[in-house]
Amino acid sequence: MRLKTFICTLVMLFATLTLSAQNAIDKAVDEYSSIGKSTFTSAVERDPKTRKVLKVVKVLQPTDLTINKLRRAFLDEQENGQFSIMTNDEEETMTLTIENEKENRVYMMQYVNRRASFTDGKVTIIIRYKQ
C-alpha cells in the first residue's frame, strides 16, 4: 500500500513540474500581451470533420520594452523539458520542448543581447494536441 501511495505522489509531482513551465512562460506572455506595447497573434488549426483543436500557435513581439521577464521565465524552466540556447553574433534563440501524454509544447524566444539588456524579442509558442 505504501508503494502505491509513493508512486501516486511521484506521478502527481512530475505532472506539477511539467505544468509549472507552461504556467510561468504562458503567464509572462499573457502579461506582455496585455500591457499594450506588443504585437500578439494567435492561430488555431482544427480538424474539419470533428472541429477538435489540433494545433495552437501564439506569437508575441514586444515593442519598446526589454524582455528580461520573458527571458527569466525560460531560464527558470529549462530543467522541465529539452532546453537549448543558440547564439549568433548579438542574437540568441532559446528553445524549450515539453512533451506529455496530451500535447507537445514548443516554446521559442529570439532576442538581441546587448550587454545585459535584452531587447527586440519574439516569443513563439506551438501547442500540438495528440489524438
Q: What percent of the chain has pLDDT over 70?
A: 76
Most confident of 29-33, 56-60, 90-94: 56-60
Q: Is the pLDDT of residue 59 over 90?
A: yes
Domain boundaries, the chain: 2-129
Which CATH code, of 2.60.40, 3.30.1460, 3.30.160, 1.20.1340, is assigned to 2-129? Answer: 3.30.160
**DSSP letter (8 states) at residue 81:** S
Q: Residue range 52-73: average pLDDT?
A: 85
Q: CB burial class (10 A; 0-12, 13-18, 19+) of residue 117?
A: exposed
Confidence of residue 17 (pLDDT cuts 50, 70, 90): very low
Q: Is the pLDDT of residue 20 over 70?
A: no
